[in-house]
Structure 1
Amino acid sequence: MIQLVRISDELPEGFAALRAAADAEGFNALRRLEAEWAATPALYACLLAAPSPEGLLAIGGLTAEPEPQHEPAMRIRRPYVHPDARRRGIGRTLVNALVQEALDSVWLVTVNARNTLAPAFWTSLGFRAVAGRPWSHEFRADYSAA
Structure 2
Amino acid sequence: IRHVYVLPDYRRTGVGKLIMEALIDHARAHFEILTLRTPTAHGDAFYTALGFSREARFAEATHWLALNHDSISDSTRHS
* TM-score scaled by length of structure 1: 0.44
Quote the offset at 1:132 in angstroms.
4.5
Match of 2:48 in 1: 123
Deviation at 1:144, TM superposition (A): 5.0
Is 2:66 aligned against 1:140? yes
Counterparts of 1:122 and 1:104 in 2: how far apart (Å)? 20
Partners of 2:30 and 2:57 in 1: how far apart?
25
Runs of 4+ aligned residues of structure 1 deviating over 2 Å after TM superposition are 142-146
CA RMSD of aligned residues (A): 1.4
Shift of 1:145: 3.8
TM-score (norm 2): 0.78
**Count of aligned positions:** 70
SS at 2:35's partner residue?
strand
Match of 1:106 among 9, 12, 31: 31
Unaligned runs of 5+ in 2: 73-79
Report the structure number with the largest CA radius of gyration: 1
Larger strand proportion of the pair: 1
Q: Residues of 2 paired with 1:145 and 1:107: CA distance?
A: 7
For structure 1, list consecutive stretches of 5 or more residues without a partner in the other structure. Answer: 1-75
State the identity as a percent.
Answer: 33
Contact 2:32 2:71 in 1 (8 A): no
